[in-house]
Amino acid sequence: MILNNSSRSALFLLKRSSCIQSTKCGPPTYFNSTFSRSPFVSLSTKTPSAYRDSPRRVSSDTLINKTDNSNHGTTTTEQLSNRQKFKQIDPPLRLYEKLERLGFGTLRRTKRYQSVRQQKTKDKHLIPDPEYKLPLLSFFAGAKTPTSFPSESLEEIGFVGRSNVGKSSLLNSLASTTIVRTSDKPGLTQQLNFYSVGRLFSMVDMPGYGFAFVDDDQRKQWRDLMETYIGERKTLKRVYVVIDARHGLKLADIDFLKMLDMKRVKFQVVMTKCDLQVLPTLARRIMVVQDDIKGFRNAVKDVLVVSSKTGAGVNQMRKEMLFLVGHLKEKDFYQDKNKK
Ligand SMILES: Nc1nc2c(ncn2[C@@H]2O[C@H](COP(=O)(O)OP(=O)(O)OP(=O)(O)O)[C@@H](O)[C@H]2O)c(=O)[nH]1
Ligand SMILES: [Mg+2]
């Protein structure tokens, strides 16, 4: 029998379907799935991004709910995966404006953000903040045990966070220097390092917590050292909890925040490495983090956003620090400098 092209492919499809249904070929996994994808759709032909967004990657609960007829095709918030929920967060326009002003890029030219752009062009009288500079940074003490803490004199600001999150780099960036040692390998800072900022105040760089590559004894020793310092230091004015903007607050961070709250130490979350996020994702991440810290009594509600690499947001952080240690007058700090 001579077959033309179309009857050949029809025969091929018929054979393939009977093969899938027969046990000889092994049970195809997607047959049990509630997701009704045609078994003949070749996954390899999909683009990576399409594959990423494919319902196959969504948790099974979501999948089941999505195909549930009782919902009449609608999907409620509870049925969405965390990733989908994250994408649905709609940050307010003023947050985008703030991030643009801090130097975190500009919004894409989409219809959705047109109103922000129009609003911006109307604001012709924007006066940027002056450039704040910190005096020379100098290392004056390193402490591996509480007995080697230097005597209390200047007010201190501590920097904590998970390993490799960018604490030491942030100190360098704030003080426009490179004297603090940094590394792309976690666990470089292994003691409390005290740096004086001229005669204004001191910054204390601390080891990272939640570091899986050091042994438990070492980790406990660092944790005890930090807890003792934070709990007993009278000159400690504020603790900056540095987190990676790509990850938000992790369990180790929450655990540390609980300890700070218990010791009634005022702390503020600083999101760094913000250059590695696109603007809408960064804005959403900020909203999630702000929501996460709502329950902490000693948390400063505003989250600081910086990039040590590009310097975005660093000037704003310097301004906050100078105000905190009393070197910036209240009227200069609170005055809305952006309006005439
Ligand atoms: N892209 C980018 N990379 C950063 C930023 N800040 C720090 N890094 C990089 O992150 C890595 C870790 O930086 P460190 O400052 O050593 O991190 P750390 O938190 O002090 O690490 P430990 O001392 O090990 O706890 C380095 O390779 C830095 O170059 C940032 O804002 N943007
Ligand atoms: Mg470090």
Helices (H), the chain: 5-21, 48-52, 60-67, 82-88, 93-102, 114-122, 167-174, 216-232, 251-262, 279-292, 314-324, 330-334
The ligand that comes nearest to the alpha carbon of residue 314 is 1
Is there a single domain that holds both residue 215 and residue 295?
yes
Q: Could you tell me the CATH number of the domain that includes residue 155?
A: 3.40.50.300
Residue nearest to atom 11 of ligand 1 (CA): 184
CA distances 318 to 51, 80, 240, 313, Å, are 43, 40, 13, 9
Q: Which of 87, 107, 124 is the last residue of a domain?
A: 87
pLDDT bracket for residue 40 (50, 70, 90): very low
Is there a single domain that holds both residue 158 and residue 76?
no
Is there a single domain that holds both residue 202 and residue 306?
yes
Taking only the tens place, the pLDDT of each residue in 44-102 is 333 333 333 333 333 333 333 333 444 445 556 667 888 888 988 988 888 888 898 89
Taking only the tens place, the pLDDT of each residue in 120-155 is 555 555 677 789 999 999 999 999 999 999 999 999
Give a yes or no: residue 96 inside a domain: no
Report the greatest alpha carbon distance in the chain. Answer: 99
State in Å: Cα 11 to ligand 1 middle.
60
Domain that holds residue 261: 137-334
Is there a single domain that holds both residue 78 and residue 198?
no
Is there a single domain that holds both residue 168 and residue 308?
yes
Residue nearest to atom 1 of ligand 1 (CA): 273
Give a yes or no: residue 122 inside a domain: no
Whether 165 lines ligand 1, by a CB cut-off of 6 Å, is yes
Whether 208 lines ligand 1, by a CB cut-off of 6 Å, is yes
Give the count of domains, the chain: 2
Is there a single domain that holds both residue 190 and residue 65?
no
Give a yes or no: residue 315 inside a domain: yes
